[in-house]
């Protein structure tokens, strides 16, 4: 019990140490990753991990939750303040569980949902056939316009009126443009009026939650029935998720006239006992800490810099003859189209990795290649912005990526880029006083 990690398990300790070195010595451009603060990191490694606390603050199934209640209530209150949400559940272990619980709260298996095509920037939990969502619910999809790779809201409206879903889902994991949530609401309302039933609007804002919290992206909270998000992407908290919703179920009179629960209670019941057992109390406390950080004024400056950096990175790539899907970005992410380079995402991801530029291969809209070796590379700026990178450094990163694409079969050129990246990273120390 008293031995430390290094002494007891050097294999794991070494892997952790090497991961810290990897993070320090590379340009982390995976759009869904970020670096948490020391305070968030510290909270995750506390004794809160020892506790069982099924239930919710002041309504638990185990004794001894007086301190867990404090941390969970802080997380709830701060998330409500940060996003202006009526109700927040902070227990989902991950984004998938948040989406699962959200569907379960108001839908029945077999109900229709309209969401974004995965290949156009959607997400596995938005109806992929290999995911629970595609197996349990009847999904149909809208996509982007083939001419500009942007959402065509008139087309979304047309498909929605044709499909008449019970839920319209807005939310993406690889869409670089701003989302018009108010227009999504109008479309859901049109469907409700036409069917005389009801069409809920849900947004999954996992990628852009930080931008929304900083009020530099259109706001889904006032117009959506349910909003889910992970907490570890632009929001820069620990891994996990939350669900935000309205207190009342706007279609209760239609779908659940005799039910006793409002929407907030339905969401809570779907998370526990519907979906999960004991909450991860150390992670919930870390979410509380992250939300406190996000309520500080410098968080807004950070989010503005994330967007400025992404914009500079996209511009530099295009100036260097690299194609960017939709011709730019409005948010934190960029999708590189490798079609004209005649390269696959798999080999480019690997070559960039060798140059210490960390990215992920990704489908692009209307991709002719397979998901295992698609035509795109997705990149984003949240992590490097946390590290202190600004526009000048993003221009260097953009040029480095272009060089790797040009010289993909030239190991000495890749090594040159690696040396440049190593030297750049040294100027922006990550967790400088940490051993591992
Ligand atoms: N895996 C996440 C991402 O990279 O966007 C989404 O779940």
431 as an active site residue: the answer is: no
With the most atoms of ligand 1 within 8 angstroms of its CB, the residue from 28, 32, 100 to mutate is: 32
230 as an active site residue: the answer is: yes
CA distance 244 to 386: 26
pLDDT > 70: what percent of the chain?
100
125 as an active site residue: the answer is: no
100 — alpha (psi -120 to 50), left (phi > 0) or beta?
A: alpha
Note the pLDDT tens digit of each residue in 412-426: 999 999 999 999 999
Q: Which residues line ligand 1 (CB under 6 A)?
A: 32, 95, 123, 173
CA distance 199 to 185: 9
Average pLDDT score over residue span 319-347: 98
Ligand 1 atom with least separation from CA of 124 = 7
Q: Are 19 and 434 in contact (CB under 8 A)?
A: no
pLDDT, averaged across the chain:
97
239 as an active site residue: the answer is: yes
Whole-number pLDDT of residue 436 = 76
Confidence label for 121 from pLDDT (cuts 50, 70 and 90): confident
Q: How far is the CA of 41 from the centre of ligand 1 (A)?
A: 21
Q: How far is the CA of 72 from the centre of ligand 1 (A)?
A: 25
Which among 23, 25, 54, 256 is annotated as catalytic? 54
CA distance 204 to 103: 12
Whole-number pLDDT of residue 435 = 84
Confidence label for 204 from pLDDT (cuts 50, 70 and 90): very high
Confidence label for 119 from pLDDT (cuts 50, 70 and 90): confident
Q: Whose CA is nearest to atom 3 of ligand 1?
A: 32
Ligand 1 atom with least separation from CA of 207 = 5
Helical axes 411-426 vs 391-406, angle rounded to 10°: 170
317-352: buried (b, 16+ CB within 10 Å) or exposed (e) per residue? bbebebbbbbeebbbbbbbbbbeebebbbeebbebb
Task: Specify the DSSP class assigned to residue 274.
Answer: I
Average pLDDT score over residue span 2-8: 95
Q: Whose CA is nearest to atom 4 of ligand 1?
A: 32
Average pLDDT score over residue span 308-326: 98
Hey, is 41 helix, strand or coil? helix
62 as an active site residue: the answer is: no
Which among 17, 23, 52, 431 is annotated as catalytic? 52
Which among 239, 292, 346, 369 is annotated as catalytic? 239
With the most atoms of ligand 1 within 8 angstroms of its CB, the residue from 34, 172, 206 to mutate is: 206
Note the pLDDT tens digit of each residue in 156-194: 999 999 999 999 999 999 999 999 999 999 999 999 999
Note the pLDDT tens digit of each residue in 28-74: 999 999 999 999 999 999 999 999 999 999 999 999 999 999 999 99
Note the pLDDT tens digit of each residue in 261-270: 999 999 999 9
Give how far the C-alpha of residue 405 lies from the chain's centroid of Cα atoms, to the nearest Å. Answer: 27
Peptide bond before residue 330 is cis, with ω within 30 degrees of 0: no
Q: How far is the CA of 230 from the centre of ligand 1 (A)?
A: 9
| Alpha helix positions (H), 295-410 | 297-319, 345-354, 382-387, 391-406
Model-wide pTM > 0.85? yes
204 as an active site residue: the answer is: yes
With the most atoms of ligand 1 within 8 angstroms of its CB, the residue from 233, 333, 378 to mutate is: 233
Note the pLDDT tens digit of each residue in 363-412: 999 999 999 999 999 999 999 999 999 999 999 999 999 999 999 999 99
Whole-number pLDDT of residue 210 = 98
């Amino acid at each position: 019990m008293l031995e430390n990690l290094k002494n007891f398990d050097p294999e794991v300790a070494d892997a952790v140490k090497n991961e810290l070195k990897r993070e320090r010595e590379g340009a982390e451009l995976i759009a869904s990753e970020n670096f948490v603060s020391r305070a968030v990191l510290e909270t995750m490694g506390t004794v809160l991990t020892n506790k069982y606390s099924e239930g919710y603050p002041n309504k638990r199934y185990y004794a001894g939750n007086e301190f867990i209640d404090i941390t969970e209530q802080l997380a709830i209150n701060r998330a409500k303040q940060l996003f202006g949400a009526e109700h927040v559940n902070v227990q989902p272990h991950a984004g998938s569980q948040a989406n699962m619980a959200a569907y379960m709260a108001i839908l029945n298996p077999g109900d229709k949902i309209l969401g974004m095509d995965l290949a156009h920037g959607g997400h596995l939990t938005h109806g992929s056939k290999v995911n629970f969502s595609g197996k349990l619910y009847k999904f149909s999809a809208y996509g982007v316009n083939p001419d500009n790779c942007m959402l065509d809201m008139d087309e979304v409206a047309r498909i929605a009126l044709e499909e008449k879903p019970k839920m319209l889902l807005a939310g993406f994991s690889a869409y670089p443009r701003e989302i018009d949530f108010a227009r999504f609401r109008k479309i859901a309302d049109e469907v409700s009026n036409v069917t005389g039933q009801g069409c809920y609007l849900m947004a999954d804002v996992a990628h852009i939650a930080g931008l929304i919290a900083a009020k530099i992206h259109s706001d889904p909270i006032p117009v959506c029935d349910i909003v889910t998000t992970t907490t570890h992407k632009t929001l820069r908290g620990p891994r996990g998720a939350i669900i935000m919703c309205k207190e009342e179920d706007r279609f209760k009179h239609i779908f659940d006239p005799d039910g006793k629960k409002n929407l907030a209670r339905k969401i809570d019941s779907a998370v526990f006992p519907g979906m999960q057992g004991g909450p991860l109390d150390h992670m919930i406390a870390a979410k509380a800490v992250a939300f406190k950080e996000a309520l500080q004024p410098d968080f807004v400056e950070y989010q503005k810099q994330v967007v400025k950096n992404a914009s500079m990175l996209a511009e530099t790539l295009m100036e260097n003859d690299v194609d960017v899907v939709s011709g730019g970005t409005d948010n934190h992410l960029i999708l590189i189209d490798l079609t004209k380079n005649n390269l696959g995402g798999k080999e480019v991801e690997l070559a960039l990795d060798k140059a210490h530029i960390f990215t992920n291969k990704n489908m692009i809209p209307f991709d002719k290649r397979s998901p295992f070796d698609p035509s795109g590379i997705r990149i984003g700026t949240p992590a490097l912005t946390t590290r202190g990178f600004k526009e000048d450094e993003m221009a260097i990163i953009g040029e480095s990526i272009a060089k790797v694409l040009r010289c993909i079969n030239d190991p000495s050129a890749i090594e040159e880029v690696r040396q440049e990246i190593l030297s750049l990273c040294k100027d922006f120390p990550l967790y400088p006083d940490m051993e591992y």
